C-alpha cells in the first residue's frame, strides 16, 4: 500500500511576510495587548492629571513645567503663566481631543477599555444598533478633523520651543548656543509629534483623498505628490502614535526632574 507522507513546510510558510513583532503578537494570549493598552493609556492619563493640575498649584514655583530654556509640551503655548488655574488647561483640551478621536487610538481603546470587540478574531460581546458617527457620543469623533487644525498650530509652537531650547536664558551665557540633553529630547519630541500629526488620516484625506482626478484638479499634481508623501508615513501611524505619546511624557518628566533639582542637564555652551 502506497504511503502518503506530508511534505515538510517551513514554520512560517503560511505567513512568509510576517515580521518578528507580528509573529510575537500572534503567539501571545489575546488579552495581553488590551491589558498593555489600558496600562499605558491609563498611566498616561493619570500622569497628565498629575503634572498639569496636582503638581502645578497656582502660585507655586512648579506652576509651569519649565526649566532654563525648556518648556514642557503640556504647557505650550504658555498663555497665562500666573493665573489662578494651571495654564495647561488652555492647551491640553485640544491635543487630548485630537488623540481621543484619532482613528488609530479609537481602535486601541474601543478594544482595550470597552472590549468592543476585544480583538479582531473575537466576535462582538454586545449586539446593539450601530449608527456610525451620527449620534451622541460617537458624533463627537467628528471633532477630529477640526482639532487637526489646532494640532497643526500647536505643532508650530512646539517647533518654536525646540528652537528656543538651543539658547540659554542665563544672562551669563546670553548670545551663546546651548546644547543640552534636554535640547535633544525636546527636538526628538517635536519630530515625533510632527510624524504623528502628518501621518493623520484626516490630513491625508484633506490633502488629496477627496479628489477623483488629480490631473484636472487645481494644484492637482502638487497635491498628488503631497498625498503620496503623507501616505508613506501614514502606513506607520500607530507607531508614531505610541512613540509621540512616550516622547511627550518623557519630555515633561525630564523637565520636572530638572525643576526639582533631581538631575543636572548635561550640556555644552558655544
Ligand atoms: S487619525 Fe490619528 S491623528 Fe488623525
**Which atom, in ligand 1's list, is nearest to the CA of 144?**
4
Taking every pair of Cα atoms in the chain, the longest distance, rounded to a whole number of angstroms, is 94
pLDDT for the residue numbered 86 = 87
Residue to probe by mutation, ligand 1, list 41, 107, 144, 235, most atoms within 8 Å of CB: 144
Outline where DSSP puts E strands in 143-237.
178-180
Residues of the chain with pLDDT under 70: 1-16
Q: How far is the CA of 199 from the centre of ligand 1 (A)?
A: 7
pLDDT for the residue numbered 251 = 98
Phi, psi of 71 (to 5 degrees): -125, 130
pTM of the model: 0.88
Least Cα distance to 155 among 233, 201, 98, 106 occurs for: 98
Q: Is the peptide bond before 137 cis (omega within 30 degrees of 0)?
A: yes
pLDDT for the residue numbered 16 = 61
Tens digit of each residue's pLDDT (9 = 90 or more) over 185-227: 999 999 999 999 999 999 999 998 888 899 998 899 999 999 9
Interatomic CA distance for residues 209 and 203, integer angstroms? 9
**Which atom, in ligand 1's list, is nearest to the CA of 241?**
2
Least Cα distance to 93 among 113, 106, 79 occurs for: 79
3-state helix, strand, coil in the chain (%, to 5): 55, 5, 40
pLDDT for the residue numbered 15 = 56
Amino acid at each position: 500500500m502506497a504511503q502518503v507522507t506530508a511534505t515538510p513546510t517551513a514554520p512560517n510558510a503560511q505567513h512568509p511576510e510576517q515580521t518578528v513583532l507580528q509573529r510575537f503578537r500572534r503567539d501571545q494570549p489575546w488579552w495581553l495587548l488590551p491589558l498593555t493598552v489600558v496600562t499605558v493609556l491609563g498611566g498616561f492619563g493619570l500622569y497628565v492629571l498629575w503634572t498639569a493640575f496636582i503638581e502645578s498649584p497656582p502660585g507655586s514655583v512648579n506652576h509651569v513645567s519649565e526649566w532654563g530654556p525648556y518648556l514642557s509640551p503640556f504647557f505650550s503655548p504658555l498663555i497665562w503663566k500666573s493665573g489662578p488655574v494651571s495654564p495647561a488647561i488652555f492647551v491640553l483640551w485640544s491635543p487630548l481631543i485630537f488623540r481621543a478621536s484619532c482613528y488609530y487610538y479609537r481602535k486601541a481603546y474601543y478594544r482595550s477599555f470597552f472590549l468592543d470587540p476585544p480583538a479582531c478574531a473575537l466576535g462582538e460581546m454586545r449586539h446593539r444598533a450601530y449608527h456610525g458617527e451620527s449620534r451622541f457620543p460617537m458624533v463627537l469623533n467628528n471633532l477630529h478633523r477640526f482639532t487637526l487644525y489646532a494640532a497643526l498650530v500647536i505643532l508650530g509652537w512646539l517647533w518654536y520651543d525646540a528652537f528656543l531650547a538651543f539658547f540659554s536664558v542665563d544672562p551669563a551665557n546670553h548670545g551663546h548656543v546651548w546644547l543640552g540633553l534636554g535640547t535633544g529630547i525636546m527636538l526628538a519630541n517635536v519630530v515625533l509629534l510632527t510624524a504623528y500629526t502628518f501621518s493623520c488620516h484626516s490630513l491625508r484625506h484633506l490633502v488629496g483623498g477627496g479628489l477623483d482626478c488629480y490631473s484636472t484638479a487645481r494644484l492637482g499634481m502638487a497635491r498628488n505628490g503631497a498625498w503620496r508623501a503623507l501616505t508613506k508615513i501614514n502606513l506607520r501611524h500607530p507607531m508614531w502614535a505610541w512613540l509621540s505619546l512616550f516622547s511627550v511624557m518623557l519630555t515633561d518628566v525630564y523637565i520636572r526632574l530638572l525643576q526639582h533639582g533631581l538631575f543636572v542637564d548635561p550640556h555644552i555652551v558655544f
